[in-house]
A and B are shown apart, each in its own frame.
Chain A
């Protein structure tokens, strides 16, 4: 294995996944280096879950895909020693006790540490003797993360991990993920619709629209490449004339508008507005809305 491939955990080149004639994932290419927290964004049906399944060998792709230097479809068993995955449909059996799950995982996974799992569970309000059916939805997800984070893996793939959780449970989930699992070497891929909430957590973004990758970029690069100008309603026409990617309202109160540009906006416009950090949600809306749904924002 070369140095480069050790630092790159996922390498996809012209990757497609077909369901019959439908291209769920359509010719995407990207890299995920080590030590990253990657947000996988897209509307329902954009191909997020399919792409994640391909990364852990549960969907057969066309094109090139290497995860931890392995072909996920051919080497799934070897891959799953060092990559872990919580699918969006993950459930734990209702009748099982949490310490039974720890025992089960100890037998199933060679890189699972029962001690580590118990230590992580102590962070939560989940008791080892609790049965899954007595736990709240948030506690089940916490228990699930504690079990998966007790695997000494290099890559974690989380498909809509906080769906249906209240705000405190979501915060607790991400807190455990950041404090207990991310160590600067491991990478995580998270898909979610709660873009605003995890934006500041992310180092990179992969944005899918109808199977196609419309953006694969680091957050730092977003700040350099995209510029949002907040401006008064009085200069709205000038802003519109420069063809921004998106125009939207900002902040509470009347009159606050903003225009989002790919690249530096013309100098005369910069004098009319105030630069802001473009938000991921605005970028997402700008890059993934369907042309037929295109509507004037004002």
Chain B
């Protein structure tokens, strides 16, 4: 069964997980999110926790409430997520990676950009 990191609120971890799925187009923009109950069953979480995670995604503008229909993936949500991920990479991951590359003496010309066939 799923284990959750004790250093972070569970709802935040679920929100991150759902955001990663949205980035992969699951569900696609403009489509309905699974219901709170379905997500709660799937991840074995209390429905209140799921509700909080969805609310967090709604606050970030990734989901929108369609009256009487439930939550839908906001058009443009993937682009937004991608922009945020890019920013996170550039600020948090890249400096560490760059330092490591420097230490190892690896320059851009030694890095393969095209995946091998």
Question: Chain B: which residue is nearest A276 at the CB level?
Answer: B6
In the complex with contacts A200-B4, A276-B6, A277-B7, A178-B44 CB distance below 8 A: yes
Residue A228 at the chain B interface, CB threshold 8 Å: yes
Binary interface profile of A, 196-237, with partner B (CB < 8 Å = 1, else 0)?
011011110000000000000001000100001010000000
Is A203 within 8 A of B44, CB to CB? Answer: no
Residues of A with C-beta under 8 A to B37: 178-179, 182-183
Q: How far does the Cβ of B22 sit from chain A's closest Cβ, in whole Å?
A: 22
In this complex, the interface size class of chain B, counting residues with CB under 8 Å from chain A, is: 20 to 34
Given contacts A228-B6, A276-B6, contact A178 B1 (CB under 8 A): no
Q: Is the CB of B84 closer than 8 A to any CB of chain A?
A: no
Rounded to whole angstroms, the CA-CA distance of A275 and B5 in the bound complex is 12
B49 and A200 contact, CB distance less than 8 A: yes
- Are the CB atoms of B7 and A200 closer together than 8 Å? no
Of B4, B6, B9, which is in contact with the most chain A CB atoms at under 10 Å from its CB?
B6
Inter-chain contacts of B1 with A (CB < 8 A): 167, 170-171, 197
Q: How far apart sit A53 and B45, CA to CA, in the bound complex (Å)?
A: 27
Q: How far, in whole Å, are A230 and B13 apart by their CA atoms in the complex?
A: 20
| Minimum Cβ distance to chain B for residue A176 (Å) | 8
User: A190 on the interface (CB 8 Å rule)?
Assistant: no
Within the complex, which residue of A170, A202, A277 is in contact with B9, where a contact is CB–CB below 8 Å? A277
Cα of A279 to Cα of B3 in the assembled complex, Å: 12
Asked whether any CB of chain B lies closer than 8 Å to the CB of A37, the reply is yes
Q: Are A37 and B7 in contact (CB under 8 A)?
A: no
> How far apart are the CA atoms of A37 and B40 in the complex, in Å?
12
> B39 CB to closest chain A CB, in angstroms?
9
Contacting residue for A201 out of B8, B38, B42, B46, CB 8 A: B46
Name which residue of chain B comes closest to A181, CB basis: B37
Instruction: State which of A183, A200, A223, A279 has its C-beta within 8 Å of the C-beta of B44.
Output: A200
Q: Is there an interface contact between A184 and B47, defined as CB atoms closer than 8 Å?
A: yes
Cβ–Cβ contact A200 & B46, under 8 A: yes
Do the beta carbons of B7 and A276 come within 8 Å of each other? Answer: yes
Since A175-B42, A197-B44, A274-B7 are in contact, a sample of 20 more A-B pairs with Cβ atoms closer than 8 Å, ordered by chain A residue number, is A174-B41, A175-B44, A176-B41, A179-B38, A179-B40, A182-B40, A182-B47, A183-B37, A198-B44, A200-B10, A200-B44, A200-B45, A201-B40, A201-B45, A202-B46, A228-B6, A230-B7, A277-B9, A277-B10, A279-B6
Instruction: Give me 18 A-to-B residue pairs in the complex whose CB atoms sit less than 8 angstroms apart, sorted by A's number.
Output: A37-B46, A175-B42, A175-B44, A179-B40, A182-B37, A182-B40, A182-B47, A198-B44, A200-B4, A200-B44, A201-B40, A201-B44, A203-B48, A250-B6, A274-B7, A275-B7, A277-B8, A278-B6
Query: CB within 8 Å of A: which residues of B?
Result: 1-2, 4, 6-10, 37-38, 40-49
